[in-house]
Structure 1
Amino acid sequence: MVAAGLWATPASATPAAQAERASGGWYTELPASMKVCDNATWQDGPSSAPSGAIVVPAGDNLGVDFGQAGKTYWFAPGTHTLGDGEYSQIKPGDGSVFIGAPGAVLDGRRLNKYAFGGVASDVRIAYLEIRNFGGETRNHNEGVVNHDSGTGWVMEHLYAHHNDGAAVFLGSANTIRDSCLKDNGQYGISMYKDPVEGDSALKNLVVHHNEIAGNNQHDWESEIEGCGCTGGAKFWDVKGATVTENYVHDNLSVGLWADTNNIDFRFDRNWIEHNESIGLWYEISYNATITRNVFKRNAWVTGNENLGSPAPAIYISESGGDARLATETSGSSDLNINDNYFEDNFSGITIFENANRFCNSNGNTSTGYCTPFVTPTVIPTPHDGDYLDPINATHPCYTSIANEPFRSDCRWHAQNVKVFGNEFRFDQANVPCAGTYCGVQALYAQGADNLPWMPYTVAEIQQSVMHTGGNRFHDNTYVGNWKFAKGWGETISWNAWRSAPYNQEAGSTLNGVTEPPPVPNALDADTATLEGSIGQWDAWYGTAVQRAAEAAHGGAYGLRIDVTEGGGWGVQLGNWPGFDTIPGAKRVSVWAKQGTPGISTATLRLRWYDSGQQPLGSEEITLGGLSTSWQEFTASLTAPAGTATVALELTGAAGATGNSLHLDDIVIADQR
């Protein structure tokens, strides 16, 4: 239980959220009304047949004509079966209603695969217990109720349990509410329609006030490694969904999972707890608002099984905001994660991008799908759907991918993700931690530069995810021993996370401490990055310096240093006694590489001066093992008491006339 009064109210919280928390109305503990399985509302159906209804007696209903349009069927108390045929099922007519009396049970007896199928529209199913549907194939990737994803169905007050596959499939304009979806073989809720060129396959779904628990009893991920085919609920290729006030817990996989070209989702007021894997996974999808949810004790199992990456409460994978797509449900063209409460999950929020995952690549496990911005969005593959080798050599995401707009639009981007107004609590004593990533927030990218025709590099994608893609954590409250991961997944401290070049968590607090962020960089922007000018860099001896595009690490320009004579060389800043700074701990970072082979090592020297321009000392950083590939050199240094300015110089003994060295993204940041 979340103890009353623990949940602080960040200043960035919406006025409505602040008012709720101030009044104690927010989730200080799980509301009893969310325990749908305990409340057993499926027993609250009418005890006698509604006027004009067709009475369905208990027993074998194989001979009942369930296909009449516009009719209401009332299931009498007792157990109902559908004969012994594998495909014996109810196929409704348009606009029909199926409603159960108290004690009405529809039992597949492991003989029938599906309970309700067919293509009828506007069907309502209510107040029924539905159990034991499946069979030898265990309904892998199939649904028991609304097997064919009919349009306009409303399913409510159901107890769907111990079925194979998914208990419920959804179609366009479907609602599932007030239902207990428990202990099913694969999912509580799922859906699938064949992809539609230029549009979403399914639209306008409502998932409201359900208890979704204990699903994935058949452990499909172990049977089909990497299938990504399990969870409490799985959304696929949907435009417009509201997922509200659901209690999603103890699923033997992911809690809620939106995978592949989902657009315009709102997850609001859900309680997501103790799922073996990720609490909420938003994958290669767009434009969502995730607000006022509770996440507790998620991903303890997968966090220990996969120590090479974070196991978060929320996983944003190649997903984000795009203003070209719908916002009616989410209310934003960003992907917003705000006003949520997190407690003792294996880790917090991961924003990730796989450099090799894009349309028509062998890193895209959603075979045959492209982003919404490329035609065709449905890619026929020459390998009969073999996701290990799906490349279609005629698709523009192969033939033209090096050129815009395809270079940008052929991949899903982790971009425009805003994380604010949340409370993150983590007590390592309560969590079965292992590995590097327990209690971590992550902003990183991985992959390999191994496709000859791929125009992207891992370094470029990392730069986008961390720096230029509009991903921001701010105005959050942290309690506990949190770590932060960047780049390839290297963990850094709170102060480094808040400093340049990451500049995250403006306005956030850690363990109740409120202070201004450390100075992100003592150097001015041009001296640090050379984007606008050469800054303060000046040739000293044996060199010529210039701002050059070929010397860029991040951005468009870097510093090129050319050796003009043998016997040693040096460059320095031309603004003696340097840039303003203060005493204390500093983090120094510089990226360097050979422009031409020859300079194998160099020395970066920082000189500290007091306010009277008197020297207080100096420290050196060796840039060793230089090559034609970029390397980051970092150091933790301490500016002496009384420090008022810092000056920089770079010198080298190695190198001959004509050799060159490239330098970029230089940082001298405060650490607090």
Structure 2
Amino acid sequence: MRHSVVIGVLTAVVAIANLCVGQAANAAAPAAAGQAAGGWYVELPDSLRVCDNAPWRGGPSSAPSGAIVVPAGNNKGFDFGQTGKTYWFAPGIHDLGEGEYSQIFPGSGSVYIGAPGAVLDGKNTNRYAFSGDASNVRIAYLEIRNFGRGKDNNDEGVINHDAGSGWVMEYLYAHHNDGAAVFLGNANTIRHSCLKDNGQYGMSAYRKQVEGDWAIKDLVVHNNEIAGNNQDDWEAEIEGCGCTGGAKFWDVKGAKVTENYVHDNLSIGLWADTNNADFLFDRNWIEHNESIGLWYEISYNATITRNTFRRNGWVSGNENLGSPAPAIYISESGGDARLAHGTSGSPDLNINDNYFEDNFSGITVFENTNRFCNSNGNTSKSYCTPFVSPTVIPKPHDDDYLDPINATHPCYTSIKNEPYRTDCRWHSRNVKVFGNEFRFEKANVPCAGTYCGVQALYAQGDDNLPWMPYTVAEIQQNVMLTGGNSFHDNTYVGDWKFVKGWGEAISWNAWRSAPYNQEVGSTLNGVTEPPASSNALDADTATLEGSVGQWAAWYGSSVQRAAGAAHGGAYGLRIDVTEGGGWGVQLANWPGFTATPGVKQVSVWARQGTSGISTATLGVLWRDADQQLLRTDQVPLGGLSADWQEFTGQLTAPAGTASVSLEVRSAAGGAGDVLHLDDVVVADQRSVSAPRA
């Protein structure tokens, strides 16, 4: 059943920002109509309303000199295959007869244009409109409708069905076709067209892999309106197919997606899925798509700049409460300098100078631990990264879904060794989010669950393949801390939350503090916060990633750095109780770490390794410059369970404080019981001002 949402009338908001890096030359130029000086749209420009403007009606009213006239009516058997010719479709409805495979096979270098009122109608009988391997074809000023036979056109294109190279498709009205209205091949352009209410996609770019050439190259998608697509509701037809949206790109290297109006699609707006690289998404208006606005998935090197994202993800966000439904979803994707970045202009994945308003959530950077070549967690079956040869994984069976893991492939036999350990998986790394404005007012959005109104850096998965070298803790560490992912110099207005790790929500202050250190130079509700203070503890004592730090056994216990104790990153602190009657651990660097007086935020993550330890206490000891104890504060760790929990306290270091030390003690548990600790923070508490009226 088709889902619907109530569309509220929202007031347009003026958004002002600096131009993105690399576009400074445009800063002094006057803003275009409907844009702020920074390049963001403040209202939908009339130039993007392609379907209302109906440019397909602007074709020549009489046949150009030398053109072959195609009369209205039944054009079955018409010779459309001559090379280097111009075909002019007379006003009226044209059809191709009753044959299922009756279609036009163009000649290379030929032009197919329509007069005002020329319509090519498939009558829900013909599968395809234009097919074949001709190159350098131009199709313009035509309304093309009703091609396809329902579900038979799944994953197939109506216009340029065989993804011919060098095609230019412009000033088209392609609507109510099954499958994709338009397929794109090498060096294709689709522009100034209305792609509306089609069964699966407005447009798609896909072709079978060619030996030594993994990509469609050099696409231009400019000034189209892409709306209302996925009328056949394919995700309901084939659960989890990942085969719907306004536009879908697969194996594309080099694409300029500019000044398109992508809205009200009954799925995802724009979706680049599997081994795409070098994309520019610039000045698009992406609004009210049922699911994610823009999804960049297991792909590389993109710049997403000067776009407007409004009210996306409202339906999917409420249907799947287990994950965010963001305006932009970066999934196992990022920057890699080894791949092309001439179109995107950067070896990173940059998201900058965009405007976001009342989407279900903002930007999600996510990585699935189990998604890599030759894994049964790789939903792009039979595909590997561009770095591994052969690109298509050899399969012992014809059915991709039967057994994608092949014991002879290097991503199985050698994956624990470099370069395969790195190059056999897709990574969410080198994602830079800066210079954007994010607005979210919970009252405007049909919120449900814990992921509404969030920014997210997180990873999930299972440590369930004995031969895989990756762990969830390692991948979480990469996404959150070591992979070069950075949010900075953004503007936030509204009720924002921040998500990390497995998907735990943390505060603005925690997001900006060690070990995450996000949002340097950003503001929340008009307040410029000073940079988040550093953790008083050294990195290893706080996170145990490099060593056990300063942790030491005190009494009735032993301590070790252990992968099984990791909350964030790959390692945490494991405390083993060695005898009954109580136990304790402490820091070995008496009198402790350097500290100053004032309000502090103290936090630690803890979980049971065994059920015997139900409660413990974190002691915080403040000493002066003479190493005299001024006071001991306590943060209770009560109600411990097998799940990670964060325990926090707002404490005030007394006047004269010069150092801080920690101890953890408990009377609970006996020999053989275990407690895990990780991500310990003692940092200055930053105040958060009240939201702006």
Q: Above 0.5 in TM-score? A: yes
Cα distance in 1 between the residues matched to 2:494 and 2:578: 54
Cα distance in 2 between the residues matched to 1:248 and 1:365: 26
- Name whichever of 569-578 and 419-428 sits farther off: 569-578
34 and 501 in structure 1: CA distance in 2 versus 1, 3 angstrom threshold: same
Q: Determine the structure 1 residue equivalent to 2:497.
A: 483
Residue 287 of structure 1 aligns to a residue whose secondary structure is strand
* Aligned equivalent of 2:174, options 160, 163, 181: 160
* Aligned equivalent of 1:574, options 573, 577, 589: 589
Q: Determine the structure 1 residue equivalent to 2:16.
A: 8
Note if contact 1:522-1:581 (Cα within 8 Å) is conserved in structure 2. no
* Aligned equivalent of 2:651, options 630, 634, 638: 638
Cα distance in 1 between the residues matched to 2:170 and 2:19: 38
Residue 527 of structure 2 aligns to a residue whose secondary structure is coil
* Aligned equivalent of 2:154, options 137, 140, 147: 140
1:366 and 2:375 aligned: no
354 and 577 in structure 1: CA distance in 2 versus 1, 3 angstrom threshold: closer
Cα distance in 1 between the residues matched to 2:199 and 2:618: 61
Alpha-carbon offset, residue 9 of structure 1 = 2.0
Note if contact 2:475-2:569 (Cα within 8 Å) is conserved in structure 1. no
- 1:194-230 per-residue CA deviation (whole Å, 9 max, x = no partner) reads 1124432311111000011111111111111111111
Q: Determine the structure 2 residue equivalent to 1:618.
A: 633
509 and 56 in structure 1: CA distance in 2 versus 1, 3 angstrom threshold: same
Amino acid at match of 1:395: H
Q: Determine the structure 1 residue equivalent to 2:689.
A: none
Alpha-carbon offset, residue 495 of structure 1 = 1.0
Q: Determine the structure 2 residue equivalent to 1:80.
A: 94
Q: Determine the structure 2 residue equivalent to 1:236.
A: 250
562 and 133 in structure 1: CA distance in 2 versus 1, 3 angstrom threshold: closer
Alpha-carbon offset, residue 656 of structure 1 = 9.1
Alpha-carbon offset, residue 330 of structure 1 = 0.7
591 and 134 in structure 1: CA distance in 2 versus 1, 3 angstrom threshold: same
Amino acid at match of 2:330: I
- 1:273-301 per-residue CA deviation (whole Å, 9 max, x = no partner) reads 11111100111111111011000011111
Alpha-carbon offset, residue 380 of structure 1 = 3.2
* Aligned equivalent of 2:466, options 446, 452, 472: 452
Note if contact 1:10-1:477 (Cα within 8 Å) is conserved in structure 2. no
Note if contact 2:430-2:483 (Cα within 8 Å) is conserved in structure 1. yes
1:380 and 2:394 aligned: yes
60 and 438 in structure 1: CA distance in 2 versus 1, 3 angstrom threshold: same
Amino acid at match of 1:359: C
Note if contact 1:17-1:339 (Cα within 8 Å) is conserved in structure 2. no
Cα distance in 2 between the residues matched to 1:299 and 1:662: 37
Cα distance in 1 between the residues matched to 2:443 and 2:396: 52
Q: Which residues of 2 match residues 651-666 of structure 1 at below 5 A?
A: 651=665, 665-666=679-680
84 and 484 in structure 1: CA distance in 2 versus 1, 3 angstrom threshold: same
Work out the percentage of aligned pairs sharing the same amino acid.
Answer: 73
1:110 and 2:119 aligned: no
Cα distance in 2 between the residues matched to 1:388 and 1:272: 37
- Name whichever of 464-473 and 270-279 sits farther off: 464-473
Residue 154 of structure 2 aligns to a residue whose secondary structure is coil
Residue 371 of structure 2 aligns to a residue whose secondary structure is coil
Q: Determine the structure 2 residue equivalent to 1:71.
A: 85
Alpha-carbon offset, residue 536 of structure 1 = 5.1
Amino acid at match of 2:24: P
Cα distance in 2 between the residues matched to 1:210 and 1:656: 68
- Residue-pair matches, total: 669
Q: Determine the structure 2 residue equivalent to 1:584.
A: 599
Instruction: Report the TM-score, using the length of structure 1 for normalisation.
Output: 0.91
Cα distance in 2 between the residues matched to 1:59 and 1:660: 81
Cα distance in 1 between the residues matched to 2:135 and 2:19: 47
Instruction: Report the TM-score, using the length of structure 2 for normalisation.
Output: 0.89
Amino acid at match of 1:316: I
Cα distance in 1 between the residues matched to 2:672 and 2:360: 53
11 and 563 in structure 1: CA distance in 2 versus 1, 3 angstrom threshold: farther
Cα distance in 2 between the residues matched to 1:449 and 1:506: 34
- 1:439-489 per-residue CA deviation (whole Å, 9 max, x = no partner) reads 111111111222222222222211111111111111110000001111111
Residue 496 of structure 1 aligns to a residue whose secondary structure is helix
Alpha-carbon offset, residue 668 of structure 1 = 1.6
Note if contact 1:616-1:643 (Cα within 8 Å) is conserved in structure 2. no
1:414 and 2:423 aligned: no
Alpha-carbon offset, residue 650 of structure 1 = 3.6
- 1:65-98 per-residue CA deviation (whole Å, 9 max, x = no partner) reads 1010111101111111111111111101110110
